[in-house]
């Protein structure tokens, strides 16, 4: 009884003190936040859209077909390695992520280390492109770009560097046209889509099929799949972190113009999402996500079958250990479906999916790893 009386009496004395202390701390935090916010507003007011530059490395358009443009980046060494490298990016985002800004550019680092680098820009599909198929993209646009590079470089084969969905496309292309691919590098590329523990795969239908996403209904109703829909789907994989927390952190960086521009460049890329050609997206979602046909050897590109056992060229498989979009197990599965005694190398990096492009440590280690691996096979 006495103990209870003592606790109550102590609380009566101390509560006002605790309340006052909390008020003072809150007031200090509020003033600090306001000061940062006002300082940051000055930086924001001085910025224009043209200040948020991306894709800074000089390049030249060397081929164009419909909305697809093939770029060659200006070499920065006198004698680049003779086998050109073609970067094949995903359809669902813009390819300037590999050349985001000075100091964080995979392209710039590869050029400095002596590669001759090309890049496919798939463009922005319009309503007139809804009937484009995977065959149009792989056996049409991509194959034509490879032929152009071979002709320009006087080489019979080139190196493909496929990124994310572009890595999956590169695997398919190399299976169909092995005679044109000297070496194959795939980075954070999904291979085995039967990954129920990964939200993107589950939402795509790797376990539920059409019950997860009725892609036939979507394409028949809308034609092309809106880029905003896909962007929202990606954001909802980490709704608190990607849709809430990062914006709470903005006042802490607004006062530093360089950090603010870095943030805005990433925001520009995230929300720069092209629509997806309806028939291409229909086949990709059904054949890869919902039916996992790639590892089963059942993907048909036109009348030709994709068989991973046809990948006889050297392969370098790069993946992110903390990837929430492409599970490491999905990328690592590639080794289970290659021919025996393949020249196959795997290397991981302790980052997430986006960290493979923008992490300073990865940009220090990844390009040399690629160039060293390729140099040994030139």
Active-site residues, by number, are 164
3-state secondary structure 292-310: CHHHHCCCEECCEECCHHH
Helices (H), 278-349: 278-283, 293-296, 328-332
List of residues 6+ apart from 185 with CB closer than 8 A: 85, 159, 160, 161, 162, 315, 316, 318, 370, 373, 374
- Kindly tell me the burial class for residue 327, based on how many C-beta atoms sit within 10 Å of its own C-beta (0-12, 13-18, 19 or more): buried
- Kindly tell me the burial class for residue 211, based on how many C-beta atoms sit within 10 Å of its own C-beta (0-12, 13-18, 19 or more): exposed
Q: What angle do CA 70, 76, 77 make, to 5 degrees?
A: 120
Determine the 3-state secondary structure of 104 from DSSP: strand
Helices (H), 179-296: 199-204, 215-222, 227-235, 239-240, 246-248, 250-253, 257-270, 278-283, 293-296
Q: Which residues pair with 315 in a beta bridge?
A: 184, 344
């Amino acid at each position: 009884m006495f103990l209870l009386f003592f606790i109550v009496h102590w609380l009566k004395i101390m509560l006002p003190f605790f309340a006052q202390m909390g008020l003072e701390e809150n007031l200090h935090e509020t003033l600090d936040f306001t000061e940062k916010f006002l300082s940051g507003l000055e930086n924001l007011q001085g910025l224009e859209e043209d200040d948020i530059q991306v894709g800074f490395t000089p390049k030249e358009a060397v081929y164009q077909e419909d909305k697809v443009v093939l770029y060659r980046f200006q070499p920065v060494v006198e004698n680049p390695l003779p086998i050109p490298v073609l970067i094949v990016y995903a359809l669902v985002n813009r390819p300037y992520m590999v050349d985001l800004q000075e100091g964080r550019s995979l392209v710039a680092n590869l050029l400095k280390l002596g590669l001759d680098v090309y890049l496919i820009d798939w463009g922005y599909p319009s309503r007139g492109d809804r009937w484009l198929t995977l065959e149009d993209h792989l056996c049409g646009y991509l194959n034509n770009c490879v032929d152009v590079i071979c002709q320009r470089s006087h080489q019979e084969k080139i190196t493909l560097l496929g990124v994310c969905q572009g890595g999956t496309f590169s695997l398919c292309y190399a299976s169909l046209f092995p005679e044109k691919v000297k070496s194959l590098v795939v980075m954070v590329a999904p291979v085995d889509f039967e990954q129920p523990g990964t939200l993107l795969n589950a939402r795509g239908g790797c376990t539920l099929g059409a019950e997860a996403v009725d892609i036939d209904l979507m394409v028949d109703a809308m034609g092309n799949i809106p880029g905003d829909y896909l962007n929202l789907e990606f954001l909802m994989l980490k709704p608190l972190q990607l849709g809430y927390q990062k914006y709470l952190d903005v006042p802490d960086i607004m006062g530093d113009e360089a950090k603010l521009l870095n943030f805005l460049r990433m925001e520009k890329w995230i929300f720069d999402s092209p629509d997806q050609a309806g028939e291409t997206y229909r086949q990709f979602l059904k054949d890869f996500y919902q039916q996992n046909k790639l590892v089963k050897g059942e993907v048909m590109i036109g009348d030709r079958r994709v068989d991973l056992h046809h990948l006889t060229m050297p392969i370098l498989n790069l993946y992110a250990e903390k990837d929430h979009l492409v599970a490491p197990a999905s990328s690592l599965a590639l080794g289970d479906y290659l021919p025996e005694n393949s020249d196959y190398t795997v290397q991981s990096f302790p980052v997430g999916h986006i960290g493979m492009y923008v992490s300073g440590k990865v940009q220090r280690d990844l390009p040399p790893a690629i160039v060293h691996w390729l140099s040994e096979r030139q």
